[in-house]
């Protein structure tokens, strides 16, 4: 009897796990090879200050269906919770200003809330207000840098104080070097369809306040997103998927009869199809001997590093009410921190009467100061900034530093076109080898899950086709 076809998934982050979940139950052998000691990749949940704390992603967008649907498929749908606090602030000059309600990724869609927020100076508001009168389509080309597009339409302040901090907070990127098509697809679509980007964004129906009772924009699991990984791992084991950790894949060779040999630390695995869900530099190394142009494109994708410092302080030490989800920091003001999440206000499961928990981020594309500081020096600097922003006095009860080196792929303008060329070269030279993960189509968990599922469907069709051929 011929053995069942086998698909090997390289990388056990959320993209690889979503791929394996999609592949399981189709009568194939499915294997996952993960380099780290645990599954989950950037998803990591730790015990901190008597609670569980995510030190990687702490929520996902619910506007895209993939993450919510995956949670439901795993029986976690009823556990999903929304943030308790919605309002966020931006640190501009010496003030924390509440972000205006009506925005799409920092693009103001109504003037009233923008004026009332006092995030922009009066000349900055006037400059933003003339956007609908500017000539020409906002986006004439295929793609553009988000920063340049926003500055051209709305002026420097909307860019520096709203769009760059918000998008930088999601991507750890420099919006002057990020593709609008990848990081803000809804804005790219609005910019092509309408004469005004602000009006286009509003018409896209995403610019207003959420309706009462509408689905909240973000969701998470109270035990931390590590629970998603744990339950995914259990489902894969239950479905007979061969999951191995501490098993870095070092090469991908052409195998007998048109298949592949995936060489891992634990030895070779023969595969009919392969999903490469490891970061782009690893995928580049694996495809390099067979598809050098694709390898060069993948290797050229830049990555930004972020350091996340969790602090617990006695509630009494904080000089203001933490009445929101946290604040972002406008670039170019000399601050080390890029964002501060008021985690114990944002999530009820982290709240406590006698202490607050903050997650402070530092480092982004073009700013590696945090990388060059020792943990001690980093914590001292961030405490000084916290004292200034929130009036925090006295020492923390607990501190935890997590360094995410080269963690955020940067999608430069033209990214989609380059990835299409990679996919077409791979289909030709390595049929059945597909890519997945954050480097492909965005860093958000829903995008990573979607990429894993799409790669799995391609791999499945290829493997089954070989089996029947
Ligand atoms: C601090 C932080 C905060 C974030 N916040 C959010 C958020 O709130 N919401 C959100 O939606 N997103 C957030 N993100 C982004 C999101 O977490 C990531 O984009 C996503 O988890 C990436 O998933 P992935 O599977 O593509 O990659 P990864 O998680 O990087 O997984 C890739 C896996 O491949 C493995 N690997 C590497 N080399 C090999 C090899 N040779 N062989 C086998 N395996 C290998 C790695 O060990 C890793 O486990 C955040 C990211 C970070 C770092």
Give the model's confidence band at 205: pLDDT under 50 very low, under 70 low, under 90 confident, else very high.
low
Instruction: Return the higher-pLDDT residue of 146 and 216.
Output: 146
Best CA proximity match to 432, nearest among 468, 460, 469: 460
Q: Is the CB of 219 under 6 A from ligand 1?
A: no
What pLDDT does residue 454 have? Answer: 98
- 334-341 mean pLDDT: 97
- 372-395 mean pLDDT: 97
Give the model's confidence band at 467: pLDDT under 50 very low, under 70 low, under 90 confident, else very high.
low
Give the model's confidence band at 215: pLDDT under 50 very low, under 70 low, under 90 confident, else very high.
low
Q: Is the CB of 404 under 6 A from ligand 1?
A: yes
Give the model's confidence band at 211: pLDDT under 50 very low, under 70 low, under 90 confident, else very high.
very low
Q: Say if residue 300's pLDDT is above 80.
A: yes
What pLDDT does residue 207 have? Answer: 43
- 348-360 mean pLDDT: 97
What pLDDT does residue 265 have? Answer: 97
Instruction: Return the higher-pLDDT residue of 466 and 96.
Output: 96
Give the model's confidence band at 142: pLDDT under 50 very low, under 70 low, under 90 confident, else very high.
confident
For residue 176, how far is its CA from the centre of ligand 1 (angstroms)? 23
What pLDDT does residue 289 have? Answer: 98
Q: Say if residue 41's pLDDT is above 90.
A: yes
Q: Say if residue 469's pLDDT is above 60.
A: no
For residue 302, how far is its CA from the centre of ligand 1 (angstroms)? 15
438 vs 277: CA distance, rounded Å: 9
Cα dihedral 320, 374, 343, 349 sign? negative
Residue nearest to atom 21 of ligand 1 (CA): 42
Residue nearest to atom 48 of ligand 1 (CA): 41
What are the E-state strand segments in 299-431?
Answer: 303-314, 326-329, 337-341, 355-362, 398-409
What are the E-state strand segments in 284-374?
Answer: 303-314, 326-329, 337-341, 355-362
- What's the pTM value of the predicted model, to 2 decimals? 0.96
Token pair 């405490």 is at which residue?
383
Answer for the pair 77, 462: CB distance below 8 angstroms, yes or no: no
What pLDDT does residue 209 have? Answer: 42
Give the model's confidence band at 61: pLDDT under 50 very low, under 70 low, under 90 confident, else very high.
very high
Instruction: Return the higher-pLDDT residue of 469 and 152.
Output: 152
3-state secondary structure of 399: strand
For residue 88, how far is its CA from the centre of ligand 1 (angstroms)? 25
The correct answer on CATH 3.30.750.24 for the domain covering 102-206 is no
Instruction: Supply the mean pLDDT for the chain.
Output: 94
Look at phi and psi of residue 146 and say left if phi exceeds 0, alpha if psi is from -120 to 50, else beta: alpha
Best CA proximity match to 157, nearest among 200, 178, 126, 111: 126
Q: Say if residue 108's pLDDT is above 90.
A: yes
For residue 53, how far is its CA from the centre of ligand 1 (angstroms)? 17
Helices 292-299, 415-429: axis angle to 10 degrees equals 150
Q: Say if residue 409's pLDDT is above 80.
A: yes
For residue 16, how far is its CA from the centre of ligand 1 (angstroms)? 10
- 443-447 mean pLDDT: 98
Question: Domain boundaries in the chain?
Answer: 6-41+225-301+412-468, 45-65+303-409, 102-206
Atom of ligand 1 nearest to the CA of 55: 1
For residue 278, how far is its CA from the centre of ligand 1 (angstroms)? 8
Q: Say if residue 1's pLDDT is above 70.
A: no
Class for the domain spanning 6-41+225-301+412-468: alpha beta
Residue nearest to atom 27 of ligand 1 (CA): 13
How many percent of the chain have pLDDT more than 90?
Answer: 88
Count Cβ neighbours within 10 Å for each residue of 266-291 and write b for 16 or more, e otherwise: eeebbbbbbbbbbbbbbbbbbbbebb
The correct answer on CATH 3.90.660.20 for the domain covering 45-65+303-409 is yes
End-to-end CA distance of the chain: 15
- 386-392 mean pLDDT: 97
Q: Say if residue 440's pLDDT is above 50.
A: yes
Tell me if 6-41+225-301+412-468 shares its fold with 45-65+303-409.
Answer: no
3-state secondary structure of 175: helix
Work out whether strand 29-33 and strand 107-108 pair parallel, antiparallel, or are unpaired.
unpaired
- 86-115 mean pLDDT: 93
Answer for the pair 179, 412: CB distance below 8 angstroms, yes or no: yes
Answer for the pair 6, 272: CB distance below 8 angstroms, yes or no: yes
Give the model's confidence band at 210: pLDDT under 50 very low, under 70 low, under 90 confident, else very high.
very low
């Amino acid at each position: 009897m011929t053995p069942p076809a086998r698909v090997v998934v390289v990388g056990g982050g959320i993209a690889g796990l979503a791929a394996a979940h999609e592949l399981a139950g189709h009568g194939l052998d499915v294997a996952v090879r993960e380099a780290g000691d645990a599954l989950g990749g950037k998803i990591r949940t730790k015990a901190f200050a008597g609670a569980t704390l995510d030190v990687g992603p702490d929520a996902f967008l619910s506007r895209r269906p993939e993450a919510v649907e995956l949670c439901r498929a795993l029986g976690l749908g009823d556990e999903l919770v929304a943030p308790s606090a919605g309002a966020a602030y931006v640190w501009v000059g010496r003030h924390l200003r509440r972000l205006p309600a009506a925005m799409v990724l920092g693009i103001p869609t109504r003037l009233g809330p923008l004026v009332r927020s006092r995030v922009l100076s009066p000349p900055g508001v006037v400059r933003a207000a003339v956007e609908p009168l500017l000539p020409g389509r906002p986006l004439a080309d295929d793609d553009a840098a988000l920063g340049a597009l926003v500055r051209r339409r709305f002026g420097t302040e909307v860019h520096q104080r709203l769009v760059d901090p918000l998008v930088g907070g999601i991507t750890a990127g420099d919006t002057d070097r990020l593709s609008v098509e990848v990081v803000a697809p809804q804005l790219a679509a609005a910019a092509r369809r309408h004469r005004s980007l602000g009006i286009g964004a509003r018409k896209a129906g995403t610019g207003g306040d959420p309706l009462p009772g509408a689905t909240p924009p973000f969701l998470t699991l109270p035990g931390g997103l590590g629970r998603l990984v744990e339950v995914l791992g259990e489902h894969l084991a239950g479905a007979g998927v061969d999951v191995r950790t501490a098993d870095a894949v070092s090469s991908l060779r052409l195998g007998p009869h048109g298949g592949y040999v995936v060489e891992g630390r634990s030895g070779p695995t023969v595969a009919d199809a392969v999903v490469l869900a490891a970061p782009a530099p690893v995928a580049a190394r694996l495809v390099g001997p067979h598809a050098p142009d694709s390898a060069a494109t993948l290797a050229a994708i830049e990555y930004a590093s972020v350091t996340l410092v969790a602090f617990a302080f006695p509630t009494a030490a904080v000089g203001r009410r933490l009445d929101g989800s946290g604040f972002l920091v406008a670039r170019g003001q000399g601050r080390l921190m890029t964002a501060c999440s008021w985690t114990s206000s944002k999530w009820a499961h982290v709240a406590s009467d006698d202490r607050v928990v903050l997650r402070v981020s530092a480092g982004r594309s073009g700013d590696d100061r945090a990388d060059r500081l020792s943990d001690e020096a980093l914590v001292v600097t961030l405490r000084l900034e916290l004292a200034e922003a929130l009036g925090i006095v006295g020492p923390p009860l607990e501190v935890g530093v997590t360094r995410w080196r080269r963690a955020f792929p940067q999608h430069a303008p033209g990214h989609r076109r380059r990835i299409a060329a990679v996919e077409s070269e791979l289909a030709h030279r390595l049929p059945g080898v597909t890519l997945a993960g954050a480097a492909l189509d965005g860093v958000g968990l829903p995008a990573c899950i979607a990429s894993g599922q799409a790669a799995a469907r391609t791999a499945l069709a290829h493997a089954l086709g070989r089996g029947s051929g």
